[in-house]
Amino acid sequence: MLQGEGALTLRDRVEQHLQAIYHDISLDISFTEFADDLLGLMRLEVDENTPLQHTNHWNQCDTILITYGDSLLATDEKPLVTLKRFLDDNSEGLLSAVHILPFYPWSSDDGFAVLDYSSVNEALGDWSHIGEIAAGYDLMADLVINHCSSRSLWFENFIKGVEPGKGYFYTASPEDDLSSVVRPRTSPLLKEVETDEGTQYVWCTFSHDQVDLDFRNPEVLKQFVSIVRQYLDEGVRIFRLDAVAFLWKVPGTTCLNLEETHEVVRLLRTLVEHARADAVLITETNIPNRENLSYFGNANEAHCVYNFSLPPLLLNTLVTGDCSYLKQWVMSMPPAQNGTAYFNFIASHDGIGLRPAEGLLSDEELDALIVTMQSFGGHVSYRALENGENRPYEINIALYDALQGTVDGPDDWGLERFVCAHAIMLGLEGIPGIYLHSLLGTHNDHQRVENTGHARSINRHQWNLDLLQEALEDTQSSHSRVFSRLKALLATRRRQAAFHPNATQFTLHLGSAILGFWRQSMDRRQSVFCISNISPQPQPLNLRDINLIDAHQWQDLIGGEVYESHDQQLELRPYQTLWITNLPDHR
């Protein structure tokens, strides 16, 4: 909380945020007027009551499905209608929330070059379809806040020098010191543009069709506050702040994670939580682990941060059969304060990021992982370093194919390895997010890569719903087996208080081939020992090694086995996971 916050009005708090953001910028408006404008856009009163702090807006029943609006297609039906129909017919109440990736009109990057933030892409449906999904599921939407399309009305107006758009985009000079700028692409940072005011060089962190907005201009902030208000009105509860780490630029710096960026997140947190007490901000910051954690602030910035280090570390663990790096990282992660949580995922619409593994995996480990993934049909995307060299940025591959084997090559344990990955993720402290194509066991889509020319398309398959339903009804298909196994894990997880996202977690030391950690419910009544064999060989386990309390009867929640002796010797099958609890599972 801000110093002296208890005596401050909401206007005072907003003013403090604005003063911290624009401390060295001369504005044509007073901070009080600026604050009143933002409160007006959010329809908030100056003396609005401050929501209770350190409140968890989630529990063990929460799982977020990640999907594009058009990942499922049916004849003569808008894709958003198809998506809701699939969820209603197949999720069985196991998915509490849906993250629909950018559903706005766009020009490139599968939605992340937004043409119009206030509209729904007509090819997907309209706001009524979004509202129907929001009525049945918590809706997570992208606030693509760092940049928008070079073909947007805003950018066209920027070129013409008229509103809205005049002064909306960040410009720099090729003579500026940009040597320290960190970015995830290899294309030139600056794009030369002819405007009515002459030649300008606009800043493009990602691509030349994605032009960075200039938040030094108060009108840009006002626009996004207005957009946030509209999304709340349309039923959005969870906001994903896309690429927010790059928001504020100062030449001569890295232009990454600057203090002004953090203050913008704090401001949005203040406004959003006053507008809807259970609204949630999630920062999407694909950066090294320590920097990523900084977006929690002092429980006053993001409610949740993407746990970006988990995908590469877990993938490395399962293809090498050695959990040492993953275990070391799990031990190092600080417990999230109440009111904050980790957002755990192991696959998404993007690739498996390698920057979050920097300092956690050696260069040799990363090189071996890349070679293995390429042998399984994956691609590698690169970023430019300040010395002009290119460095691997992410691995592009469908997770099911990424786990088809080990560093020794493909084997027959792919399905078990894939399920093991999800069992580990579902057991860890945090809120789980499952990518639709992982839930369905979708394979690499090489044809889509060939059609689009983009490596990320490999994991962005579009399913015909009729063909998908046939695959799911065929109990022998890999899609059906994945779907049923993951749904069973989700059903079990949501019944366990020890899997609350903020429940206690301690790491167990069971050797390099067995990953183990202990979860305890917040009322301390339930314990769950999560134990996974992460190797292709059977592994011995003596229950004595995990110190089960004699006063309790212990049961494996996944397999159902009851352990009569606390000194029992077990043999874990390759990639088998046990969730051993002291409380019976009430199905």
Output the 3-class SS for 543-578: HHHHCCCCCCCEEECCCCCEECCCCCEEEECCCCEE
Quick one: pLDDT at residue 270?
Answer: 97
Contact 211, 243 (CB under 8 A): no
Tally Cβ neighbours within 10 Å of residue 95: 20
Report d(CA 384, CA 382) in Å as an integer.
Answer: 7
* φ/ψ (deg, to 5) at 307: -85, 70
Of 224, 299, 293, the closest CA to residue 1 belongs to 299
552 is in an annotated binding site: no
Quick one: pLDDT at residue 388?
Answer: 74
- Give 586's pLDDT tier (boundaries 50, 70, 90): low
Quick one: pLDDT at residue 6?
Answer: 53
C-alpha separations of 71 from 168, 434, 436, 447, 576 in Å: 33, 14, 8, 15, 31
Q: CATH 3.20.20.80 region(s) of the chain?
A: 77-150+213-498
481 is in an annotated binding site: no
Longest dimension (CA), the chain: 81
Q: CATH 2.60.40.1180 region(s) of the chain?
A: 501-581
Quick one: pLDDT at residue 2?
Answer: 41
Higher pLDDT: 437 or 4? It is 437
What percent of the chain has pLDDT above 90? 90
CATH number for the segment(s) 77-150+213-498:
3.20.20.80
Average pLDDT, the chain: 95
| pLDDT tens, position by position, 379-426 | 999 988 877 788 899 999 999 999 999 999 999 999 999 999 999 999
493 is in an annotated binding site: no
269 is in an annotated binding site: no
| Mean pLDDT, residues 250-266 | 97
Cis previous bond, 164, omega within 30: yes
| Mean pLDDT, residues 489-496 | 97
- Give 47's pLDDT tier (boundaries 50, 70, 90): confident
Catalytic residues: 242
In terms of CATH, what superfamily is 501-581? Golgi alpha-mannosidase II (2.60.40.1180)
Contact 321, 372 (CB under 8 A): no
Contact 264, 165 (CB under 8 A): no
Quick one: pLDDT at residue 3?
Answer: 40
- Give 567's pLDDT tier (boundaries 50, 70, 90): confident
Quick one: pLDDT at residue 1?
Answer: 37
* Size of the chain, expressed as the number of residues it contains: 587
Report d(CA 551, CA 460) in Å as an integer.
Answer: 50
366 is in an annotated binding site: no
Of 546, 534, 551, the closest CA to residue 570 belongs to 546
147 is in an annotated binding site: yes
Tally Cβ neighbours within 10 Å of residue 52: 9
Instruction: Match 């579009």 to its residue by tokens.
Output: 462
| Mean pLDDT, residues 343-357 | 94
Q: Is 343 exposed, middle or buried (0-12, 13-18, 19+ CB in 10 A)?
A: buried
End-to-end CA distance of the chain: 42
Report d(CA 166, CA 158) in Å as an integer.
Answer: 4
